[in-house]
Amino acid sequence: MIITTESILAASLLFIAVVLVYGNNLSACVWTRVGSGTIRTLTGIMIGVVGYTAGLLPQASNMASVPHLLMASPAADTAAAAFSVTIMISVIGMLFRIPKSLSMSPVGVMAGISVAHGTPAVGYLDRVMALWIAAPLLSILAGTLSTRAIAAS
C-alpha cells in the first residue's frame, strides 16, 4: 500500500472519529449508569473497554462491507468525507449535549456519494433507513413496557 497525503488524512480523520464515536457510545451505554450511581467509575471503565472490544470483533466484518455495498469504488477521499462529517456531527451533538448514533453519519455520507454517482444501493439503503427509524421507536416501546411491568409487580 502506498502512503499518500489522502491516506494519511483519512487515517487521521478515522482516528478522531473513532475517539468521538467511542466516547459517544460509551456515554450513552455506560456513563449514564455511572452518573446514576448504580456502578462505580472504575467498573464503568472496565465494562466500556471490554464491551467496546468485544463488540468490535463481530461488527468489524459487517461494517467492512458497507462501503462496497454503497459505492462502486470507495477511495481515500470518500473516507475523508465520511469521517469529516462524522466529526462535525459529533461536535454538534456534544455542543448541544444530544446523544446520537454516529454510525449514521459515515453511512449517510457514503449513501449520498453513491446517489451523486448515480449508483445508489436502494435495497440496502431501505433496510438501513428502516432500522434507523425502528430502533429508537422499539427502544421507547421496550422501555415503557418493561418499566410498567416492573412497577406492576
* Tens of pLDDT, residues 37-72: 878 888 888 887 787 777 777 766 666 677 767 766
The span from the CA of 101 to the CA of 129, in Å, is 13
Q: Residue 11 sits in which domain range? A: 5-120
In this structure, how many other beta carbons lie within 10 angstroms of the beta carbon of residue 80? 19
d(CA 84, CA 106): 9
Distance CA 79, CA 118 (A): 18
| Residue 16 and residue 74 share a domain | yes
Most confident of 5-14, 72-81, 100-109, 141-150: 141-150
Judge if 84 and 131 occupy the same domain: no
- The mean of the pLDDT values for the chain is 77
- Shared-domain flag, residues 37 and 107: yes
pLDDT of residue 46: 83
Mark whether 83 and 133 lie in a shared domain.
no
Please state, in angstroms and as integers, the Cα–Cα distance from residue 137 to each residue in 19, 92, 107, following that order: 27, 23, 20
Whole-number Å distance between alpha carbons of 21 and 87: 9
**What's the CA gap between 137 and 141, in Å, rounded?**
6
What pTM, to 2 d.p., does this model score?
0.55
Q: Residue 146 contacts by C-beta under 8 Å, 6 or more apart in sequence?
A: none
- Same domain as 55, residue 36: yes
